[in-house]
Every structure is written in structure tokens, then in C-alpha cells.
Amino acid sequence: MELLYQKRFFRPDEAAAILVISRRTVYRMIRDGRIPGVKWGGGPWRIPRESLASLLPGERF
């Protein structure tokens, strides 16, 4: 869990590991608007730490 405190943005596979869900589910949640994702230019999706924190109410980032 130390990774949570070091990074500001997470790749979908990292977010999936933190949330204990599949990467496919993370992409679905981004598409549905349940997880706010950021996409810079044509690059890959990134999920802000605050978005993950909102899904883990017991955790403090």
C-alpha cells in the first residue's frame, strides 16, 4: 500500500490491483463515469489518487 502514498496518478492495472477488481472493470467504470479518468493527448488513461480514495472510504491518501 506504500505505492498509494507515492503516486498521484495510477495506471488502470494499478487501480485494478488497489480496488481488487479486473482491469476491464476499471475501464468500464471510467467509461460509465464512476471513476474519473484523465487522458493526456493520445496517451493511456490515468486515474487520480483522489478518485481511488473516493472508492475506498476507509483509506486516507
Segment 29-52, tens digit of pLDDT? 999 999 999 998 888 899 999 888
Domains of the chain by start residue, with CATH? 2-55 (1.10.1660)
> H helices then E strands: how many in the chain?
4, 3
What's 8's DSSP letter?
S
Question: 3-state class of 38 per DSSP?
Answer: strand
Which of the four pLDDT bands, split at 50, 70 and 90, describes residue 60?
A: low
**Which three three-digit cell numbers place residue 2?**
506504500
**pLDDT more than 70, % of the chain:** 85
Identify the pLDDT of residue 48. 93
User: In whole angstroms, what is the distance from residue 9 CA to residue 1 CA?
Assistant: 14
